[in-house]
Amino acid sequence: MRTVFMGSSDFSLPALKAIYESNHELLAVCTKPPSVAGRGMKLAKNEVYEFCEEHKILVLSPKNLRDEKTLFLLESFKLDVIAVCSYGLILPLNVLNMPKYGCINIHPSNLPMWRGADPIRRTIMSGDKKSAVCIMKMDEGLDTGDVFLKKELDLNDKDSYSLLLSNMAIIGADALIEAMEILSNGTAVYEKQSTEGVSYADKLSSEEEVINWNDYVVSIHNKIRALSPRPGAYFKYLGEQIKILESNYIETSHKHKFGTIIDENLSIACEGGILIPELLQRQGRKVIYRDAFLRGFNVERGIVIS
């Protein structure tokens, strides 16, 4: 099929590679323009942009999809489909209706749960035991389009954001190629999303990065997983911000004040149990395991941290 791919994040790169390596005709890729980054304030290209340059794929990087030159070029391609994955720009109605089979999107949640900007983190933070990668036909709503392919997966309480992101990107890439075959064969069966169970994955706020020891221990553990490795959930000790990037926990009753370090192993009392940090990072330092952290950082038993 004659295809344009739209994607900007690392999550979208496996899908782009899958289309490139398939028998579909990849005519161009739309991605976000290079942005200023680093101390030198140089323009940095995302991985999608770099992949296209390396493989001599036409790159379009409009600031929005109302740019007349971009629209004219897209129209001239006589597209069968536009495949979208973590693009970051809104597709107006004329673009949604442009291809023969419309625009299809890879969404990493069990729709209609976790529509919106940050579905994977919200899935983990909520402690969901199941999720899915959905391929939907896009409409003007926020992830409200009809779904015609869903790949379900089980989750466990060890999955970090980085691990689930990587797994879902691979599942999404495979599902996208399967969906394109379904479209080309004319066998797509569209299913409207349920009006029940709708939830929204709001973008993470900086306040949510702070660990509240009054929260239930499982919720704290889920937050740590959802924010690992970036931006990282943190607490403060002696005025220093310390991130916890991996943890274990024990659900148990206790009489300690929440936030109390109860032993020499940095076990911390929380609502409903004890949190045990495993991977930590001090400000400006490398990520290290708890044993190494404690060898270089004196933590007093009985102190209450914030």
Is 305 within the bounds of a domain?
no
In terms of domains, do 61 and 128 share one? Answer: yes
Look up the pTM and report it. Answer: 0.94
pLDDT tens digit sequence for 17-27: 999 999 999 99
- Could you read off the pLDDT of 172-193 as tens digits, one per residue? 999 999 999 999 999 999 999 9
DSSP code at position 205 = P
The three-class DSSP label of residue 115 is strand
The CATH number assigned to the domain holding 235 equals 3.10.25.10
228 located within any domain: yes
Both structure tokens of 100: 């023969």
22 annotated to bind ligand: no
Check: CB of residue 13 under 8 Å from CB of residue 47: yes
Per the annotation, does 111 bind a ligand?
Answer: yes
Residues 195 and 210 in one domain: no
Q: Looking at the structure, tell me whether residues 95 and 163 fall in a common domain.
A: yes
Q: Are residues 39 and 102 in the same domain?
A: yes
pLDDT digits over 273-296, tens only?
999 999 999 999 999 999 999 998
Compute the Cα dihedral for 288, 292, 298, 300 and give only its sign.
positive
Q: Which of 152, 173, 200 is the last residue of a domain?
A: 200
pLDDT (0 to 100) of residue 129:
97
Please tell me the predicted confidence (pLDDT) of residue 35: 83
Domain limit, last residue, from 179, 200, 221: 200
* 109 assigned to a ligand binding site: yes
Phi, then psi, of 5 in degrees rounded to 5: -105, 140
- The radius of gyration of the chain from alpha carbons, rounded to an integer in Å, stands at 22
Q: Which residue has the tokens 């379009």?
A: 60
